[in-house]
Amino acid sequence: MSSLESLLAAAEERFEALSREASEAEALARERRTEAEKAGAYADGLKAALAAVSSPRTRQRSSGEANSRTRELTAMWKAILRSVDRAAEGGRFNYDDLEHVASEEGHEIARDTLRSQMSLYKARGLVDASGAGLFQLTDEARKAVGALPPPVPSVKQPTPRRPGAFDDDLDDPDVPF
C-alpha cells in the first residue's frame, strides 16, 4: 500500500499545483480582460476625438472662418443690449442692469450666463469694460443692435476774446477787483 499511498500523495500534490496554476491563470486572464476593456474604451475615445476634429464645423473654425453664430447677435441679445444702453446712466451698465432689463424683456438669465456673454462681447469688441463689472457698448455694438449713439454732453464753450481786449484793465491798480 505504500506505493499506492505515495502515488495518491503525488497525485494530490500535482492536483494542488495545477489548481494553483489554474487560479493564477484565471487571475491573469481577468487582468488581461480589464486591460483589454480599458484599451477599447481608450480607442473609442480617440475615435470620438478624431470624429470631432474631422467635422466640417471644426475645420471651419480652425481655418479662421467665422461661423454664423459669431457674426450676428441674436434678436434677444440685440433687444437686451439696446434697452440697457437706453437705460444706462452715462452709457455705463452693470450685471444688475442687464438682469433687470432681461427680466423686463421676458428673459430670466443666470448671472453666470451674463458674465459669459459680456466676456464674449468684450473679446469681440462689442463692449468696453469701464471698471469692475461696468460695461459700455462700443459704436460697433450700437450699430449692430440698432441703438442711437450716446448723447454728447453739452459743454458751454467760453466766448473767444479778442487779443488785447481788457488786458490792460487787469493790471491797472485803480480798478477795484
Q: How is the chain split into domains, by residue range? A: 2-56, 72-145
pLDDT at 70: 58
pLDDT in tens, the chain (177 residues): 688 889 999 999 999 999 999 999 999 999 999 999 999 889 888 888 888 777 665 555 544 444 444 567 888 888 888 888 888 777 788 889 989 989 988 888 888 898 888 888 888 888 888 777 889 888 888 888 887 665 555 566 665 555 555 555 555 566 565
Please state whether the predicted TM-score (pTM) of the whole model is above 0.85.
no
pLDDT at 68: 43
Output the nine-digit C-alpha cell for 107.
Answer: 428673459
Residue in 110, 126, 151 with CA at minimum distance from that of residue 74:
126
Output the nine-digit C-alpha cell for 29.
Answer: 486572464
CA 173 vs CA 8, 165, 166, 167: distances in Å: 140, 17, 14, 13
CATH number of 72-145: 1.10.10.10
Please state, in angstroms and rounded to a whole number, the distance separating the CA atoms of residues 15 and 24: 14
pLDDT at 176: 61
pLDDT at 137: 87
Residue whose C-alpha cell reads 469681440 in the numeric block = 124
Residue in 113, 89, 91 with CA at minimum distance from that of residue 102:
113
Output the nine-digit C-alpha cell for 51.
Answer: 470624429
At 117, the amino acid letter reads Q
pLDDT at 48: 85
pLDDT at 71: 62
- The per-residue DSSP string of 104-133 comes to HTT----HHHHHHHHHHHHHTTSEEE-STT
Please state, in angstroms and rounded to a whole number, the distance separating the CA atoms of residues 79 and 81: 6
Output the nine-digit C-alpha cell for 104.
Answer: 423686463
pLDDT at 163: 58
Please state, in angstroms and rounded to a whole number, the distance separating the CA atoms of residues 154 and 169: 32
Residue in 7, 144, 160 with CA at minimum distance from that of residue 70:
144
